[in-house]
Structure 1
Amino acid sequence: MNLDQVLEEFRNSGALLEGHFKLSSGKHSGHYLQCARVLMRPDRAARLAEAVVAGIPAEIIEAVDVVVSPAMGGIIIGQEVARVLDKDAMFLERPDGVFHLRRGFALESGAKVLMVEDVVTTGLSSREAIAAVAREGGEVIAECSLIDRSMGNVDLGVPFFPLAAFDFPTYDEADIPAALAAVTVTKPGSRKE
């Protein structure tokens, strides 16, 4: 699946939003990719997961024991990637602000984990999730995502395989352009303030 095809999937599902958004990373943008909408149709989610897996090197796929995703955004695509790989899927939650495995999920000591995210911007949530897997006894050997908003600039400390990269500008709170600042801000992500 090429960049135009991925973008078309987002457009067709109403998942490419325009306005003023405060992203989970804390940055601001005039565009938001609502992955929950693009993934709400199981056939589309399956197609996107198959495309994500196609971009991961075979030696990494062969080494994966389990798929882990951070809640909320990574749950659906993580489940779909696990289905493609025929592996178990787990997700991390942060009810107290720190990621943990809950709901009876547990990693075997030394388990090789593929981390799956929906969107990566600064990589903060991904790095927190990778650290949580290490605390839980696993080892993240790679991460994949639907979207890389960093355009390849993010360093997660593990190999990273996004399906597509979008160059939508993001801004720090102090650097928001006047035209964007004039638009009411929406915070669609899952991270608390």
Structure 2
Amino acid sequence: MDQETVLNEFRAAGALLEGHFKLSSGLHSPVYLQCARVLMDPKRADRLCTAFAEKLRATNVSVDLVVSPAMGGVVVGYEVARQLGVPGIFTERVDGEFALRRGFEIPKGANILMMEDIITTGLSSRECIKTITEWGGNVVAAGCLINRSGGRAEVGAPVTALATIDAPTYTADTVPESLRAIPAIKPGSRGLKA
């Protein structure tokens, strides 16, 4: 699946949005990718995650377990784990820090794919990887459907992305005037209004 096909899946799902968005990182952007809208269609999720699994297999990485950060990574992590034929678990925030709950464990020395939906700054990925390594897991790869950083975000492991775009982001004090003229919305899982 080439990059334009991936982006067309997002467009068809109404998940590639343009406007003024405040991202969960606190950055502002004229582009928002609502991955939950893409993954709500099981057939579309299957197509995208099958393509991702094929791309990851081509790297010859051996994976024992997929670990994702909640909330955005839960569905994509599960589906990629299913495609790879390995278990999938997720971390979730407890007092602001990622932790394993629900009886999840990471076997010491297990080869882990940390799977995200979208990478922007890489912060959630880095925090998830920190939790994995604290449990003794060996993060052999990080994955995402779309890396919107243009490939610049450092997460602490080699990144495999189904598509990479360079969506501009701005700190609150550097938002261009043309974007300032549009009210900012925060459509992600951590709030609705900026």
Residue 59 (structure 1) shift: 2.4
Q: How big is each residue's C-alpha offset from its partner over 1:13-59, in whole Å with a ceiling of 9 and x where there is no partner?
A: 11111221111222110110000001101010011001111211352
Paired letter, 1:20: H
The alignment's TM-score, normalised by the length of structure 1, stands at 0.94
1:106 maps to which residue? 105
* Cα drift, residue 191 of structure 1: 4.7
- 2:17 and 2:33 in contact (8 A); partners too: yes
CA drift at 1:137 = 2.3
Partner residue, 1:59: 60
The amino acid of 1:88's aligned partner reads P
> How far apart, in 1, do the equivalents of 2:48 and 2:123 lie?
23
Deviation at 1:95, TM superposition (A): 3.1
1:185 alignment partner AA: A
Q: Name stretches of at least 5 consecutive residues in structure 1 with no aligned partner.
A: none
**1:82-109 superposed Cα distances (whole Å, 9 cap, x missing partner):** 0111100100100311000111111111
Verify: 1:14 aligned to 2:14, yes or no: yes
For 1:95 and 1:128, locate their aligned partners in 2 and report how far apart those are by CA, in whole Å.
12
Q: Take 2:188 and 2:108, find their aligned partners in 1: how far apart are those partners?
A: 32
Q: Are 2:50 and 1:39 aligned?
A: no
Q: Deviation at 1:190?
A: 3.2
Q: Report the secondary structure of 1:186's partner residue.
A: coil
Q: Does 1:156 align with 2:147?
A: no
Contact 1:101 / 1:136 at 8 angstroms: preserved in 2?
no
What SS does structure 2 have at the residue aligned with 1:163?
strand
Question: How many corresponding residue pairs?
Answer: 191
* Runs of 4+ in structure 1 over 3 Å off: 190-193
Residue correspondence of structure 1 range 119-158 to structure 2 within 5 A: 119-158=118-157
Contact 1:18–1:30 (8 Å) recurs in 2: yes
Segments of structure 2 that go 5 or more residues without pairing to the other structure are: none
The residue number in structure 2 matching 1:170 is 169
Query: Separation in 2 of the partners of 1:58 and 1:9?
Result: 24
Secondary structure of residue in 2 paired with 1:18: strand
Q: Distance in 1 between matches of 2:187 and 2:139?
A: 27
2:25 matched residue in structure 1: 25
Amino acid at match of 2:44: R
21-30 or 35-44: bigger deviation: 21-30
Secondary structure, aligned partner of 1:94: strand
Which amino acid is the alignment partner of residue 178 of structure 1?
A: E
Q: Which letter does structure 1 place at the counterpart of 2:112?
A: V
User: Which has the larger displacement, 115-124 or 21-30?
Assistant: 21-30
SS at match of 1:131: helix
Identify the residue that residue 76 of structure 1 maps to in structure 2: 75
